Amino acid sequence: MSEPAQIKTIIRPVDARKIGRLQAVPNPGDLLDELEIELDEHSEDGQSLRRAAEQLRSSNIPVSFPTETVYGLGADATRSAAVKGIYKAKQRPSDNPLIVHFASLNQLRAVLRSRKHANGHTNGCNGDNSTSDPIPDIYKPLIKKFWPGPLTIILPNPPNSPLAPEVTAGLSTFGARIPRHVLALALIKLADVPVAAPSANASTKPSPTAAEHVAYDLDGRIETIIDGGPCDVGVESTVVDGLSQPPLVLRPGGISVEQLQSCPGWENTQIGYKNATEADSQPRAPGMKYRHYSPKAPVVLFEAGKEPPSVTGLQQFTGPNAKLGLVRTKSWRFNPKDDDNPISSSVPADVTAAVDVAKQASHFATGFAGLLDTVDSAREPKKALQTHVMQKGGLPVTLLDISLGPDTAGIARGVFAALRELDSENVDAILVEGIDDAEGETAAAIMNRLRKAAELNIAK
Which CATH number is associated with domain 10-239?
3.90.870.10
Q: Are 300 and 455 within 8 A, CB to CB? A: yes
pLDDT of residue 337: 80
Predicted TM-score (pTM) of the model is: 0.86
What's the chain's Rg over C-alpha atoms?
A: 22
The helix or strand, by DSSP H or E, that contains position 45, with its residue range, turns out to be helix 44-58
Q: Are 330 and 435 within 8 A, CB to CB? A: yes
What are the residue ranges spanned by the domains of the chain? 10-239, 299-458
Name which of 261, 101, 280 is nearest 176 in CA terms: 101
pLDDT of residue 358: 41
Residue 233's φ and ψ, nearest 5 degrees, are -95, -55
pLDDT of residue 350: 47
Instruction: Name 406's bridge partners.
Output: none
pLDDT in tens, the chain (460 residues): 444 557 999 999 999 999 999 999 999 999 999 999 999 999 999 999 999 999 999 999 999 999 999 999 999 999 999 999 999 999 887 778 999 999 999 999 999 997 544 344 544 434 444 568 999 999 999 999 999 999 999 999 999 999 999 999 889 999 999 999 999 999 999 999 999 999 999 988 999 999 999 999 999 999 999 999 999 999 999 999 999 999 999 999 989 898 999 999 999 999 998 765 555 455 555 555 445 667 889 999 999 989 999 988 888 899 999 999 999 999 999 887 887 888 998 865 444 344 444 444 444 567 998 888 877 665 666 678 999 888 776 678 899 999 999 999 899 999 999 999 999 999 999 999 999 988 888 898 999 999 988 888 887 5
CA dihedral 331, 337, 340, 341 (to 10 degrees): 0
Residues 187, 9: Cα–Cα separation, whole Å:
18
Q: Are 398 and 389 within 8 A, CB to CB? A: yes
Residues 426, 435: Cα–Cα separation, whole Å:
25
Name which of 276, 290, 202 is nearest 448 in CA terms: 276
Instruction: Name 403's bridge partners.
Output: 328
Residues 4, 287: Cα–Cα separation, whole Å:
32
Q: In this structure, which amino acid lies at residue 211? A: A
**Helix runs in 135-268, H state only:** 140-146, 165-168, 182-191, 211-218, 257-261
What are the CA-CA distances from residue 199 to residues 90, 175, 208, 292, 436 (Å)?
Answer: 9, 14, 7, 11, 25
